[in-house]
A and B are shown apart, each in its own frame.
Chain A
Amino acid sequence: MTSLERHNLRLGLLFVSPWILGFLVFTLYPVAASIFFSFCDYDVLSAPVWVGGMNYRDMLTDQVFWKSLYNTLFFSVLALPLGLILALLLAILLNQPVRCRGAFRAIFFLPSLVPMVAGAMVWLWILNGKLGLLNQFLATLGMQHPPQWLSDPIWTKPSLVLMGLWGVGNTVVIYLASLQDVPQSLYEAAEIDGASAWTRLRHVTLPMISPVIYFNLIMGIIGTLQTFASAYVMFNGGGPNRSALFYAVYLYQNAFEFRQMGYACAMAWLLFLLILGLTWLATRLTQKHVFYST
Chain B
Amino acid sequence: MKSLRLVLLVLACLFCGAGCGQRVDERTPDGRVIVSYWEKWTGFELDAMQGVVDDFNRSQPRIEVRLLPVSPIDVKIMLATAGGNPPDLAGLWSFSVPDFAEKGALTPISSALRRTGITREQFIPLFWDLCGYRGFQWAVPVAPASLALHYNRALFREAGLDPDKPPQSIAELEALNEKLTLVDVTRTGQVMRLAYCQLTPEERQARKFALVRVGHLPQEPGSFLDLMGAWFGGSLSDSKGRITADAPGNLAAFRWFRDTTQKYGVENLRNFGASGGGLASAQNPFLCGRVAMELQGVWMHNFIEKYAPDLDWGVAPFPAADPVAGKDTTLVESDVLVIPRGARHAEEAFEFMAYLCRRGPAEKLAVGQHKFTALRDVSPDFYARHPNPHIREFVRLANSPQARAVPRLSIWREYQEELRVAAGNALWLVTPPEVALAQVQQRVAWRWERAQARWDRVAEKREKEWQQRDLP
Contacts and interface: CB of A to CB of B under 8 A. Distances in A.
Contact of A153 (B3, B78, B99, B430): B430
A95 interface: no
Nearest to A22: B14
Interface size class of B (residues with CB under 8 A): 35 or more
Given A46-B458, A240-B428, A151 B11 contact: no
Given A45-B104, A241-B421, A18 B443 contact: no
Contacts of B280: none
Contacts, number: 91
B223 interface: no
A151 B14 CA distance: 49
B14 A18 contact: yes
Contacts of B7: 11, 14-15, 17
A148 B78 contact: no
Contact of B270 (A15, A152, A256): A152
Interface in B405-459: 411, 413-414, 417, 420-421, 424-425, 428, 430-431, 443, 450, 454, 457-458
A196 interface: no
A46 B103 contact: yes
Contacts of B421: 237-238, 241-242
Interface stretch (B248-256, B271-279, B363-371, B389-397): B271-279
Contact of B454 (A49, A151, A258): A49
B4 A43 contact: no
A170 interface: no
A21, A63, A259: residue with the most chain B Cβ atoms closer than 10 Å: A259
B274 A63 contact: no
Interface stretch (A123-131, A158-166, A181-189, A219-227): A123-131
A145 B265 CA distance: 14
B406 to A, nearest CB: 15
Interface in A122-157: 128-132, 145, 148, 150-153
Nearest to B425: A241
A46 B413 CA distance: 18
Interface in B271-321: 271-275
A256 B11 contact: no
A257 interface: yes
B425 A131 contact: no
B13 to A, nearest CB: 9
B99 to A, nearest CB: 7
B99 A130 contact: no
A11 B4 contact: yes
A136 B264 CA distance: 23
A129 B454 contact: no
A17 B267 contact: no
Contacts of A43: 103, 454
A131 B275 contact: yes
Interface in A63-100: 63-64
22 contacts: A11-B3, A11-B4, A11-B7, A14-B3, A17-B7, A17-B11, A43-B454, A44-B79, A45-B104, A46-B458, A49-B454, A63-B443, A64-B443, A130-B271, A130-B272, A151-B273, A151-B274, A237-B417, A241-B425, A241-B431, A253-B417, A257-B413
